[in-house]
Structure 1
């Protein structure tokens, strides 16, 4: 990927968004196959870390770099929702939240932000609602995207870097 960017004469990246999201199994812990956990960890934590490691030189070339991880409130231990059967998704998102906080601590000049996009009408969102027996996720993709972009635009080193916020700017507990 880095070589492709260099071939296009791209020298820096100002905003890098890791928007991985895999939720392969919505069952109880005892019924969750280890293969589902592996798939979700591969997409939700290995993917964003590989993206960060590969493109870090491009971020460091920017004077106002922002690395954004699309997280999930389902990966929040502080906002734990009992009864949501999502072991593989939730633990993999909790892991990427930790990674974002770690990157923030390591990169003093980079804005690092974790954003919960809301409960969005996507295939993954629908699979989750089917597992808990509710009709549909409440938010349209466009509404979520607008909120996420607003949070990215407003993010600063002093006020937001190293935090976990929702698409609406509300702080989300780790």
Structure 2
């Protein structure tokens, strides 16, 4: 296997992002462990070991993104993992500022980071972008019974709508970059034991299991799908 492949994972100092970085490092990648907290990034990279490298990166700060992009000449894999969910209310209980804050990280920052690293990705012979989304962003699952959340639930409007917007961007990036050999896909990681919403969910699964799904998309062959939405187990998720 080639040993000169490079990857960047945003929000990689904990949760799903940490395990994605760990698994990519195990695959032989030089992995840039993106973290807005330098100390946490350094500790995460040290724990992963091997070719993991800490990278100071606040995805909501354009200057931080630009500085990080200047440090990486070529990139094979970009995993947009960083995300927040500051409000659990439905749309009637969610203020505009909560929406702005959520979209700033979950949508606008993904565009900022992706566009900043496109030159480095274009230097790869097999560029891959994985956007960590959510099954709760599926409009189909939001209007039909499904295992992700109770039917008819309208909670977490800011988070869920931001991830739906991310899904739309995934499709558009996939379409516009397809001729250059890019594979751009969104991942629904499932309910995981992370601190995304501030308190653990009683039925949440292992973040490492979700990370395996992200790595699967990061390692897609040339005839693999692009512009798709996939569950952690590899099955397609309805839009």
Matched, 1:117 2:183: no
Tell me if 1:98 matches 2:163: no
> Structure 1: which 5+ runs fail to align?
130-134
- For residues 156 and 62 of structure 1, what CA distance do their matches in structure 2 show? 14
Return the alpha-carbon distance in structure 1 between the equivalents of residues 154 and 74 of structure 2: 40
TM-score (norm 1): 0.86
Change (3 A) 1:82 1:20: farther
For residues 74 and 30 of structure 1, what CA distance do their matches in structure 2 show?
A: 18
Name the residue aligned to 1:29: 91
For residue 132 of structure 1, what is the aligned residue in structure 2?
none
- How many Å apart are 1:57 and its aligned residue? 0.3
> In the TM superposition, what whole-angstrom CA distance separates every residue of 1:98-130 from its partner, at most 9, and x where no partner exists?
001000110022111111111100112564x7x
In the TM superposition, residue 76 of structure 1 has moved relative to its aligned partner by: 1.1
Alignment of 1:17 with 2:79, yes or no, is: yes
Deviation, 1:147, is 3.0
The two structures, once aligned, show a CA RMSD in angstroms of 1.9
**Kept in 2: contact 1:126–1:137 (CA 8 A):** no
Deviation for aligned residue 1:3: 4.8
Aligned-residue offset at 1:146: 2.4
TM-score (norm 2): 0.64
Deviation >6 Å, runs of 4+: none
Q: Distance in 2 between matches of 1:157 and 1:39?
A: 36
Structure with larger RCO (C-alpha < 8 A, sep 6+): 1
* 1:5-154 matched pairs, under 5 angstroms: 6-7=70-71, 10-80=72-142, 81-108=151-178, 109-124=181-196, 127=199, 136-153=202-219
Inter-partner Cα distance in structure 2 for 1:103 and 1:42: 18
Question: Kindly tell me: are residues 16 and 111 of structure 1, through their superposed partners in 2, closer, same or farther at Cα, counting changes over 3 Å?
Answer: same
Q: C-alpha distance in 1, partners of 2:107/2:98?
A: 14
2:68 and 2:132 mapped to 1: Cα distance?
Answer: 24
Secondary structure at the counterpart of residue 74 of structure 1: helix
Partner residue of 2:53?
Answer: none
Does the CA-based 8 Å contact 1:151-1:168 persist in structure 2? no
Matched residue SS, 2:139: coil
109-118 vs 57-66, which moves further: 109-118
2:172 maps to 1:172:
no
